């Protein structure tokens, strides 16, 4: 069984972000981009499936500009056999009336941080569906959400487009060598749920599926020899204007509402008094 | 049969009558919302669905129709409950063994097929584990990009949603309004509809061919669940949430927080660190990737306040932090910060709250 893993490059989870002055998007306070943490978990699971002899090949795929190769290189160092980088369509013009329309960002780095610069989950799902078909994937593993857009949609949409069964928010994945199904434990409201999926299927990883391995220097050196294939949308049979057109425009991005300053209380008695008399919540 | 479905259930509310006439004159579809109902099989409607119903009733134009899918008696019971939710004008029911568990494959297929027939302007659900599992799949079947976890509805085409773990709020709008807009709303952002409608909305079973369409899809097989029954209020809708972090040091020590939560009539939550350390079950995790809570009172005990945790609780009305570290990020956010050792402060707090409750 061939396993396809979707990889997204995002602002590192530990880097604070702030809303840009022109409200066109957010900017990172440090220029550090990394693999989305949930994608790392999905990839780790795929590599473990290969180590157990269940998966025959692990293929990492990302949609993005050429410099996304860095992230795919990390994926290869973690144990993916090869990688595919699909070139995205040119970013759409900003929506009329949006903050970005007033001052179009001139440098590519600024453009990349605009929320509309990257394809929507529906566009990504269409690309992944085409890649899954081309590769003859038996299982597609994705993260449950990207920590930038927080959409939590791509895996579900991909499964819908392919007509494959899905198991989202997976915390355990069991399969057998040469088996035709996988057993997935899902994190749901109130507890856990176990599903059995006949292959091919789509699974999205939750935090507790595994702990991704660290990339060692020898693995990184070895990864340099592994192939990264560049693909265009046309090669996948996709029409950028029809399949990748973003249906949503981000009009503006705002700061979260700020809270009134709090204060320190000296004792538990003070705290209870404040909660009763000021906040009136007791 | 299908045409009957498409033309029925279009009861207009008086205020929108002129608007309806105008849209009819322009040859456009009339606005209406199809609500995907989450229920427990015993007639109980998920509190989050009540929030979604309130969001639709208050912020989206046109009638609000509910879809209840399930198997056996559960459907009729849930339909009865949802029929009296304020704002709901019609309840569609779908009963089939294939719909018994809310599997994404069957439920999304049914939802997409029903939406294709009824042509609502919006398909809506609460952003719960179930809503997030089903709605994007249904949207893909409809060929539309969904908008998830909406915290504000500005108009029927414009929505506000948090991005980057709630560190920014994006206002998004459909460039060209799609035929059907698929939206999930964050339950804590819309207070649940209270009380019940004067008259129960009429219920009608969907055409059998619609339901059978769902039975034909290749679906996952439900094998079992480990869902804990708890006497405490549900974390997502509790008025008081007591959260513990790694500093609790053990599973046993969480008992103090449970006692405090029970005393305050609240729910217990936890940071990722506490869940990963095995102190509590993972469904109690509060944060970007766990539950989002917005209670009247949030008490964070031994929680430093990583960005990912703050994303799940910073809309709480009153925030209390109890921590030995005065510089912890949660302290900066808290309305009341108590710099103290939790192992002395929590028992003392239990004592003081008991006293205070006794006086009240």
Of A189, A272, A282, the CB nearest to B128: A189
B-chain residues within 8 Å CB-CB of A163? Answer: 217-218
Question: Number of helices and strands (H, E) in chain A?
Answer: 9, 15
Instruction: Give the A:B interface size as CB pairs under 8 Å.
Output: 261
A-chain residues within 8 Å CB-CB of B318? Answer: 275, 279, 281
B-chain residues within 8 Å CB-CB of A28? Answer: none
Give residue A265's pLDDT.
Answer: 96
- Residue A100 above 80 pLDDT? no
Kindly provide the ipTM of the predicted complex, given to two decimals.
0.93
Please report the sign of the dihedral spanned by the C-alpha atoms of residue A97, residue A101, residue A103, residue A109. Answer: positive
Q: Is A218 touching B (CB cutoff 8 A)?
A: no
Instruction: Quote the CA–CA distance of A147 and A151 in Å, as a whole number.
Output: 8
With CA atoms as reference, report the closest residue to B184 among B284, B295, B41, B51: B51
With CA atoms as reference, report the closest residue to B114 among B258, B8, B20: B8
In this structure, the number of other CB atoms found within 10 A of the CB of residue B47 comes to 17
What element of type H or E holds B105?
A: helix B104-118
Estimate to the nearest angstrom the gap between the alpha carbon of A204 and the chain centroid. 10
Q: Phi/psi class of residue A72: alpha, beta or left (left: φ > 0; alpha: ψ in -120 to 50)? A: alpha
Sort B175 into a burial class: Cβ within 10 Å, 0-12 / 13-18 / 19+.
Answer: middle
- Is position B323 annotated in a ligand binding site? yes
- Beta-carbon separation of B288 and A147 below 8 A: yes
Mean pLDDT lowest for which of B10-24, B208-222, B299-313? B10-24
Which domains, and CATH codes, for chain A? 2-277 (3.40.50.620)
Report residue A112: phi and psi, to 5°: -65, -25
Distances (CA, A) of B273 to A6, A174, B168, B248: 27, 25, 24, 10
User: Exposure pattern of B313-352 as b/e (b: 16+ CB <10 Å)?
Assistant: bbbbebbbbbbeeeebbbbebbbbbbbbebeebbebbbeb
Hey, is B152 helix, strand or coil?
strand
- Beta-carbon separation of A279 and B349 below 8 A: no
Hey, is A167 helix, strand or coil?
strand
- Beta-carbon separation of A249 and B172 below 8 A: yes
Of A157, A171, A251, the CB nearest to B139: A157
Going by pLDDT thresholds of 50, 70 and 90, the confidence category of residue A97 is: low
Q: Is A70 touching B (CB cutoff 8 A)?
A: no
Sort A218 into a burial class: Cβ within 10 Å, 0-12 / 13-18 / 19+.
Answer: exposed
Going by pLDDT thresholds of 50, 70 and 90, the confidence category of residue A99 is: low
Q: Is A24 touching B (CB cutoff 8 A)?
A: no
- Is position B305 annotated in a ligand binding site? yes
B-chain residues within 8 Å CB-CB of A274? Answer: 336
Q: B19 CA to chain A: closest CA distance, Å?
A: 25
- Residue B302 above 50 pLDDT? yes
B-chain residues within 8 Å CB-CB of A279? Answer: 297, 317-318, 335-336
Mean pLDDT, residues B107-133: 97
With CA atoms as reference, report the closest residue to A202 among A152, A146, A135, A156: A156
pLDDT, tens only, A148-188? 999 999 999 999 999 999 999 999 999 999 999 999 999 99
Give residue B13's pLDDT.
Answer: 44
What element of type H or E holds B352?
A: helix B342-359
- Is position B71 annotated in a ligand binding site? no
- Residue A108 above 50 pLDDT? no
- Is position B289 annotated in a ligand binding site? yes
Which domains, and CATH codes, for chain B? 13-215 (3.40.50.620), 235-357 (3.40.50.1220)
Instruction: Quote the CA–CA distance of A213 and A138 in Å, as a whole number.
Output: 24
Residues shown for chain A: 282
- Residue B15 above 60 pLDDT? no
Give residue A113's pLDDT.
Answer: 53
Instruction: Quote the CA–CA distance of B264 and B253 in Å, as a whole number.
Output: 18
- Beta-carbon separation of A282 and B264 below 8 A: yes
Mean pLDDT, residues B300-324: 96
In this structure, the number of other CB atoms found within 10 A of the CB of residue A56 comes to 14
Mean pLDDT, residues B27-37: 82
- Is position B272 annotated in a ligand binding site? yes
Give residue A111's pLDDT.
Answer: 44
In this structure, the number of other CB atoms found within 10 A of the CB of residue B252 comes to 9
In this structure, the number of other CB atoms found within 10 A of the CB of residue B204 comes to 16
In this structure, the number of other CB atoms found within 10 A of the CB of residue B256 comes to 19
The more confidently predicted of residues B228 and A112 is: B228
- The model's pTM: 0.91
B-chain residues within 8 Å CB-CB of A150? Answer: 149, 161-165, 288
Closest alpha carbon within chain A to B277? A208
Instruction: Quote the CA–CA distance of A15 and B307 in Å, as a whole number.
Output: 10
Residue A61: partners with Cβ closer than 8 Å, 6 or more residues away: A4, A5, A6, A7, A83, A84, A85, A86, A128, A131
Going by pLDDT thresholds of 50, 70 and 90, the confidence category of residue A90 is: confident
Estimate to the nearest angstrom the gap between the alpha carbon of B82 and the chain centroid. 15
pLDDT, tens only, B131-165? 999 999 999 999 999 999 999 999 999 999 999 99
């Amino acid at each position: 069984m061939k396993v396809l893993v979707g990889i997204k490059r995002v602002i590192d989870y530990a880097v604070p972000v702030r809303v840009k002055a022109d409200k066109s998007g957010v900017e990172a306070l440090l220029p550090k981009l990394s693999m989305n943490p949930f994608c790392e978990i999905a990839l780790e699971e795929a590599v473990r499936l290969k180590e157990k002899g269940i998966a025959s090949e692990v293929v990492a795929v990302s949609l993005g500009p050429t410099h996304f190769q860095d992230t795919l290189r990390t994926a290869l160092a973690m144990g993916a056999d090869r990688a595919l980088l699909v070139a995205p369509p040119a970013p759409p013009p900003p929506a009329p009336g949006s903050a970005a329309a007033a001052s179009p960002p001139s440098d590519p780095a600024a453009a990349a941080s605009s929320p509309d610069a990257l394809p929507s989950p529906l566009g990504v799902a269409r690309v992944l569906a085409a890649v899954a078909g081309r590769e003859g994937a038996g299982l597609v593993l994705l993260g449950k959400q990207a920590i930038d857009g927080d959409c939590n949609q791509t895996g579900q949409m991909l499964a819908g487009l392919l007509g494959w069964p899905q198991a989202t928010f997976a915390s355990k994945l069991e399969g057998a060598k040469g088996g035709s199904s996988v057993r997935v434990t899902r994190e749901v409201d109130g507890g856990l749920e176990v599903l059995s999926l006949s292959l091919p299927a789509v699974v999205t990883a939750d935090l507790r599926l595994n702990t991704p391995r660290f990339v060692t220097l020898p693995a990184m050196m070895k990864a340099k020899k592994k192939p990264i294939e560049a693909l265009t949308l046309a090669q996948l049979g996709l029409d950028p204007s029809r399949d990748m057109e973003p249906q949503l425009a981000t009009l503006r991005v705002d700061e979260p509402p700020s809270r009134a300053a709090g204060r320190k209380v000296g004792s538990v008695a003070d705290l209870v008094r404040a909660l009763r008399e000021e906040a009136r919540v007791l | 049969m299908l045409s009957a479905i498409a033309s029925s259930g279009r009861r207009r509310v008086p205020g929108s009558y002129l608007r309806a006439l105008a849209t009819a004159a322009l040859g456009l579809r009339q606005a209406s919302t199809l609500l995907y109902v989450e229920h427990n099989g015993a007639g109980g409607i998920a509190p989050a669905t009540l929030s979604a119903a309130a969001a639709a009733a208050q912020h989206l134009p046109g009638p609000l129709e509910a879809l209840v899918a399930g198997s056996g008696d559960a459907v009729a019971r849930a339909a009865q409950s949802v029929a009296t939710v304020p704002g709901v004008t019609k309840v569609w029911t779908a009963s089939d063994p294939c719909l018994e568990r809310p599997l994404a494959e069957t439920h999304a297929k049914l939802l997409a097929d029903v939406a294709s027939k009824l042509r609502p302007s919006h398909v809506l659900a609460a952003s719960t584990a179930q809503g997030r599992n089903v709605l994007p799949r249904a949207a893909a079947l409809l060929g539309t990009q969904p908008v998830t976890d909406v915290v504000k509805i500005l108009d029927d085409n414009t929505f506000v949603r948090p991005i980057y773990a709630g560190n920014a709020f994006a206002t998004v709008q459909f460039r060209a309004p799609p035929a059907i807009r698929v939206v999930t709303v964050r339950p804590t952002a819309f207070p649940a509809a209270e009380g019940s409608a004067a008259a129960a909305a009429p219920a009608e079973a969907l055409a059998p061919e619609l339901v059978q369409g769902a039975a034909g899809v290749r679906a996952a097989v439900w094998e079992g669940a480990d869902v804990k029954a708890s006497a405490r209020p549900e974390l997502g809708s509790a008025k008081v949430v007591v959260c513990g972090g790694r500093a609790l040091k053990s599973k046993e020590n969480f008992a103090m927080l449970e006692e405090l939560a029970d005393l305050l009539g609240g729910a217990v939550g936890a940071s990722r660190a506490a869940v990963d350390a095995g102190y509590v079950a993972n469904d109690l995790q509060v944060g970007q990737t766990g539950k989002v809570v917005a209670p009247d009172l949030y008490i964070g005990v031994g929680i430093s306040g990583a960005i990912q945790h703050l994303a799940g609780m910073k809309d709480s009305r009153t925030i209390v932090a109890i921590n030995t570290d005065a510089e912890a990020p949660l302290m900066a956010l808290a309305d009341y910060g108590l710099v103290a050792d939790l192992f002395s402060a929590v028992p003392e707090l239990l004592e003081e709250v008991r006293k205070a409750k006794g006086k009240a």
